[in-house]
Amino acid sequence: MAMSFGSISMGYSASVIATTLAQPSFYTFFATGLTTPLIGTMNGLFQAGAFFGALCISWVGDHWGRKWGISIACILVLISGALLAASQNLAMFLAFRFFAGMGSWWLLGGVPVYLSEIVPPKNRGLLVDIHSAALLLGYTIASWVGYGFYHLDTGDVSDRVLVQVMEASTNQYLERFYLEIPLRLAVSLPSHPSCCHEVVT
């Protein structure tokens, strides 16, 4: 269940741009006309980051374990979310959209892989489905937070990204209590196969 915070972070990060671009305060803060190509660039850089994040899922997970892989993705989402909120110009905002995409899509693939490998077979379907539900919850939170800030005359965009930072940091904190996956145990403890068997049964 705790791992679902990573899924919520991904859902929020992926959809928050839609409500951000609907905020008058966003245009006021950057004091520039956002053209269609520029808006496309914001989305394109997020997806470009997603490509590199997807490449890292198995490579980092196989070398350092799934927990480390998800931790790195959470750190990326955490830092990029904070710096998106603190962006002082469009160039800074665009740069960290790339890293937000990288961390978010890394979580999108890393969380269900971890869950499918750590959860006992009888509960696997239910708990892996929690990942999908948490993604949708992230989308919902982004929509409602965007709706709420639309009616606030703050002139700033930082508070909306704060929710993303909170979710990623919560997942990062809870990861210390997660189990390592059987594959990693098998590699690091080849003389103790019972450890692997204990996890999956």
**pLDDT at residue 48 greater than cutoff 90:** yes
What is the predicted pLDDT for the residue at 41? 87
**Alpha helices, DSSP H, located in 31-181:** 36-64, 66-85, 90-118, 121-150, 158-174
How many CB atoms within 10 Å of residue 149?
20
pLDDT tens per residue, range 1-13: 666 777 787 888 8
pLDDT tens per residue, range 115-165: 777 777 788 888 778 888 888 888 888 888 888 777 776 555 554 554 455
What is the predicted pLDDT for the residue at 73? 85
Domain count of the fold of the chain: 1
Cα–Cα nearest to 97, from 67, 53, 133: 53
List the domain range (segments joined by +) for residue 157.
4-200
What is the predicted pLDDT for the residue at 29? 75
How many residues are listed for the chain in this entry? 201
CATH number of the CATH domain containing 134: 1.20.1250.20
What's the rounded Cα separation, in Å, for the pair 84 and 95?
9
Q: Average pLDDT of 24-44?
A: 77
pLDDT band at residue 197 using 50, 70 and 90 as cut-offs: low
**pLDDT at residue 70 greater than cutoff 80:** yes
| Average pLDDT in the chain | 75
Q: Between 33 and 40, name the one with better pLDDT.
A: 40
What's the rounded Cα separation, in Å, for the pair 83 and 32?
19
**pLDDT at residue 198 greater than cutoff 70:** no
% residues pLDDT > 90 (the chain) = 7
What is the predicted pLDDT for the residue at 14? 83
pLDDT band at residue 193 using 50, 70 and 90 as cut-offs: low
How many CB atoms within 10 Å of residue 10?
31
pLDDT band at residue 52 using 50, 70 and 90 as cut-offs: very high
